Amino acid sequence: MKLNELNIREAQAKLVAGEITSVDLTKACLERIKEVDEKVHACLNVYEEMALLEAREADLRREKGEKGELLGIPYIAKDNILARGTKTTAASKILENYTAPFDATIIKRLKEQGAVLLAKANLDEFAHGASTENSAFGTTHNPWDLECVPGGSSGGSAASVASDMCIFALGTDTGGSIRHPASLCNVVGLKPSYGRSSRFGLIAMTSSTDVPGPLCKNVEDSAIVLEAIAGQDKNDATTIDKEVDDYKDNLKNEIKGKKIGISPEIVGQLSGESKEIFDEAKKKFEELGAEIVEVSLPNAKYGVPVYYIITPSEISSNLGRFDGIRYGMSSEETEDLTEFYSKTRGKGFGPEVKRRIMLGTYALSAGYYDAYYLKAQKVRTVIKEELDRALEEVDVLITPTAAGPAFKIGEQSDDPLKMYLEDMFVSPPSLAGLPAVSIPAGFINDMPVGMQVIGKRFDEKTVLNFSYIFEQATDYHKKKAKL
């Protein structure tokens, strides 16, 4: 097995045993990037020199007796996460030449643990999308079929893990952006509860639902990375002062007799092979001793329309900072300030970003606020309370992650509404701030399909426990893309 194909636990064991160094591991990943990224285009910028320096540093720390599960482990971060000295573009022309002056809290924590940053990953511009086709720097290709999308918006992160360019990756999830590409690329994608991991140093999209999290080769790795990045941060006042659980130690907890909720309204939307795969997963959990309980979620179907009012509204406000004055692209000379703003933004933003800014501006504008934004916030309450009630009766809920496997590049990029519906099953937990994982659950015509496990707010421990037990009883995650 090549070193870049290892998972965190395997790589760490070899490092501890002295069989390999972090430099060896880092070089193997960098070589893999060179070998396949021309085809996949998961990375926007690769930092070979910096990565090798960090790897050497990790090896020195180990020589001095330091230990740690992420010491010397190479990873890739989505390009809307600031890492000092790296270009951080959010895949937008407006930030094409922006170099991050400081580290996001999650990057800082990984640095402290000795993890090695290899590269920054492609995404839909400002994380707006579910296919990575909205990147201003070209689309990422799905390693399972290069003619297909990897999902999005963390498509570069998912594709880089699926093609073994790194040991793990970081993404951000606002309404499915970690879970959706994880499903389409056959990796494990974890969206922590809102407030569990710090947003400081992330390029803001929807401040009320944005959460950073890991994309990994298996559930155990996800638990390790979450433990490293989770916890309160004084630079993000929405992070919660709650103890971070020992996720790894709770993976093997017994699930016999525990309850899993399934919504007939959601299952009713499935057909063909998607339904078969979901039924199979349900049966597997029953075999493992869990009890399946029907829970009604009649309002989950309003997740997408609520999301597409709340999100554009927050975007129209958050992206107001791109004014061509403090950073980013700046328009040619014009004397008028308003014209300067409009020209800079008109030139710098891509089509989906413009659509969302306009949709949000409209929803928040005089005369429409009550009908759109306030109404969406109220339906958000209905969705949140419905999920909370369901989770009082069961330990976790399961749903499919996406409506189906990866679609062809270009197939639905002209139809924003169709793309929005990709978030059908993943947006409700985001609106409610619940933790949710997508894990590999099967294949349709050799293309991977994931299952989503949703838990109670701040109960990542149970979500990871159920996911781990399912993963260990199946071997979907062991199947790799052939490149």
Partner 1 sequence: MKLQKKDIQHIAKLARLELTEKEYDLYGEQLSGVLEFIDKLSEVNTDNVEPTAQVTGLLNILREDKVMDWNEKEQADAFKEAPNFEDNQYKVKRVL
Tell me the catalytic residues.
78, 153, 177
* Cβ-contact 187, 164 below 8 angstroms: no
Q: Which is nearer to partner 1, 271 or 381 (CB)?
A: 381
Binding mask 388-427 for partner 1 (x = CB under 8 A): ----------------------------xx--x-------
- Residue 437: beta bridge partners? 190, 453
Options 133-141, 159-167, 275-283, 325-333: segment touching partner 1 (CB under 8 A): 325-333
271 binds partner 1 (CB under 8 A): no
347 lies in the site for partner 1, by CB under 8 A: yes
Stretch of 114-122, 135-143, 158-166, 339-347 contacting partner 1, by CB under 8 A: 339-347
Cβ nearer to partner 1, comparing 61 with 375? 375
What residues from 238 to 257 belong to the interface with partner 1 (CB under 8 A)?
238, 240
Stretch that binds partner 1, among 4-12, 60-68, 145-153, 231-239 (CB under 8 A): 231-239
Q: How far is the CB of 312 from partner 1 (least distance, A)?
A: 9
- How many residues at the interface with partner 1, by CB under 8 A? 67
What CA–CA distance (Å, rounded) separates 48 from 86?
A: 12
Q: Which of 129, 189, 195, 231 binds partner 1 (CB under 8 A)?
A: 195
| Binding characters for partner 1, 87-106, by CB under 8 A (x = yes) | -----------xx-xx----
List the structure tokens of 135: 């990147």
Enter the tokens of residue 414: 């002209």
Rule CB under 8 A: is residue 321 a binding residue for partner 1?
A: no
> Does the footprint of partner 1 cover residue 109 (CB under 8 A)?
no
CB of 153 to partner 1, least distance (A): 18
Q: Which of 55, 205, 376, 437 binds partner 1 (CB under 8 A)?
A: 376
Residues of the shown chain interacting with partner 1 in the complex, contacts defined by CB under 8 A: 84, 98-99, 101-102, 194-195, 208, 234, 237-238, 240, 299, 302, 305-306, 308-309, 316, 323-328, 330, 334-343, 345-347, 349, 351, 354-355, 357-359, 361-362, 365, 372, 374-382, 384, 416-417, 420, 431-433, 457
